[in-house]
Every structure is written in C-alpha cells, then in structure tokens.
Amino acid sequence: MALELDSITVRYGQTVAVSDVSLSVADGEVVALLGPSGCGKSTLLRTIAGLEKPSSGAVRWDSRDLAGVPVHRREFGLVFQDGQLFPHRSVAGNVAFGLRMQKIERESRDKRVLSLLELVGLEGYADRRVTQLSGGEQQRVALARALAPSPRLLLLDEPLSALDRALREQLAVDLARLLREAQTTALVVTHDHDEAFTLADRVAIMSRGRIVQVGPPAEVWSSPVDVETAKFLGCNKFVPGSFVGLSAGRVGLRATALRVADSGPLEGTVLERVHRRDHVRLLVEIDGEEYEAVGPMTEVGDRVRLEIDLDGVARIG
C-alpha cells in the first residue's frame, strides 16, 4: 500500500472536522473522496499534504509515518480548486518551480516543462503570463506544475469545480486519461459525483467527518450503504424492494428508474413536466404517491404507463 491513513482525527478547537478516518491508496490507483461541502474531505486532504496536523492517527507512506516530515519534503503534489499559480512567473516559470526546488539542471528542466505543457495540451504557452490565461488553462498549468517534479502522490482539491460545466466535463475526461497514462497515484477531493466516477478507480464517500463507504464506482453507485448516501448519490424516493420486483429490503429510486413505456407494469398521472438537456423529466402520481420519471413528450394530466429501469435503482446496504 502506498498511502495509508490510520484512524485520523482532526480537531479545530471544539469542532471535529475529520473523525477516525482510515483509508489506503495503492500504487498507481486513483481514489476519489466524495462528499457534500463541509464534510471534512478538504481537511483530510490538507492533513495528508502536511498542511494540517492530525490530533490523532497517522499518515503513512510505504509504511513510514510522515508525522515528522514537513510539507516540502513529502513529495506530494497538490492542485487547488482555483489553481493558485504564482502571478509573478510565466507559465513555464510556474511549471518549472518544483524542478528548481529539486535543483534539476536547466536543460533537462526546460525539456520536462515542454513535455508537460504538451501533456496538458498547452504547447506554445510557455512564455505567457498566467494572469492572461482562462480558468481552464490556469487549471491545466496548475496540474502540469504539480506533475512536473513527479510527485509520489497527487492530491487534487476540487480540481474542476471552479470551471463552467462544458469545460468541466471535457477536462474531467482529459484528466482521467492523463492520470492513467502517467500511472499517477492520486487522491481527488470532490463534491461532484460525475467528476468522482469519471476519475476514480475507487470512491470513498465522506459524511460528517467520517468515511461511510469505500468501493469501485459502479458498486457505490448501485448499492449505497445507507439512505443518506443514496440521497447524496441522486436517489429521491425510497420504496420497498418489492416495488421494483426485488426481494431485498429497501431501494432508492433515481429519476431514471421509471420510464414512460406503453407496455410498462405501472400506471400513473403526469403532474408536472420539465425539459432537461437530453430528456424530459416528469412528476408522476402512482397510487396517491409522487414519483419522478423520464419519458417522451406527454402532456400534464395524461395517463401514462411506466416501466422500471434497474440502472436507476439503488439497493440500500
């Protein structure tokens, strides 16, 4: 195991920001810490980087306790939400910073800077001022800067949250490819499940300072550990398993669980209709209960038949 967190607790005065968290990240693995804002995930990340001291517990790398190792000797790269580029240096100057700290000679430094700028798709930007870059470009430079000194572990703190939606989705895919290609060991903190599931090999769900569930994205998505986690992952209706033909206890329904289809087993009345980017979302009343559903064009007041799509159903527990 490359990174190992052993029952870490972080306190600020009376408040407990992180409570008894254990987690491990294997060599070359990308793990996402997913949770709502204020759940303590950023604090955990900062603790790993060495920017916060844990009140108890240990951060280990290859079984070595990092308690006495200061930030600048941990060789962990960190990417902030808003880049935090050095405003007084050019793009190349920013990317070269970590290499200069390692006293790498100029020639190989320049070469590495160019190859990294190419990697993040910013060829020819070397001499630009960072204040002239767009948000997406700045974030790419921040990534190149963090990757340049070949960190043992890359920590990403909401790396895409400050960008607008289209750019975010594009960059998430790019970032996932980039992390795989470079075989980077990385820990990503995010509140956006699309981002987490796109990037990560494993997802750790955090809530109120604790990790409540760890697993591969598909597993976490299809069987969240409890109702709260299921809600965070998009479930808005909770029903007995028998409702969807499953024997298990309770299940959570996402909007996509019910789909309008002429041959469907359920029948309901359309109450409201909202257009989304690529589908129509409906509010349907079935046996006096309201459910969300997706479907083709229907009018409010129509009687519709609905089928169940198990991809939209999450088994609790």
Q: What's the rounded Cα separation, in Å, for the pair 220 and 74?
A: 31
Question: Residues 64, 65, 88, 269: which binds other proteins (CB under 8 A)?
Answer: 88
Give me the least distance between CB of 28 and other proteins, in Å please: 20
With CB under 8 A as the contact rule, the residue among 27, 62, 64, 101 that binds other proteins is 101
Nearer to other proteins, 63 or 131 (CB): 131
Q: What is the CA radius of gyration of the chain?
A: 23
In this structure, are residues 257 and 244 in contact, taking their beta carbons and an 8 Å threshold?
Answer: yes
Task: Please report how close the Cβ of residue 275 comes to other proteins at its closest, in angstroms.
Answer: 32
Give the tokens for residue 105. Answer: 């000679």
Q: Which is closer to other proteins, CB of 130 or CB of 308? A: 130
* In the complex, least distance from residue 84 CB atom to other proteins, rounded to whole angstroms: 5
Record the tokens describing residue 22, joined without a space: 């254990």
- If one asks whether residue 1 binds other proteins (CB under 8 A), the answer comes out as no
Sole window of 15-23, 141-149, 165-173, 236-244 interacting with other proteins (rule: CB under 8 A)? 141-149
- Cα 317 to Cα 14, 209, 219, 244, 254: the distances in Å are 32, 20, 11, 16, 16
Which one among 102, 115, 134, 269 touches other proteins, defined by CB under 8 A? Answer: 102
Q: Map residues 45-84 to x or -, x wherever contact with other proteins holds by CB under 8 A.
A: ----x-x------------------xxxxxxxxx-x---x
Scored b (16 or more CB within 10 A) or e, 172-201 reads bebbbebbeeeebbbbbbbbebebbbbbbb
> What's the rounded Cα separation, in Å, for the pair 159 and 156?
6
Write out the residues near other proteins by the rule CB under 8 A.
49, 51, 70-78, 80, 84, 86-88, 97-98, 101-102, 131, 145-146, 149, 155
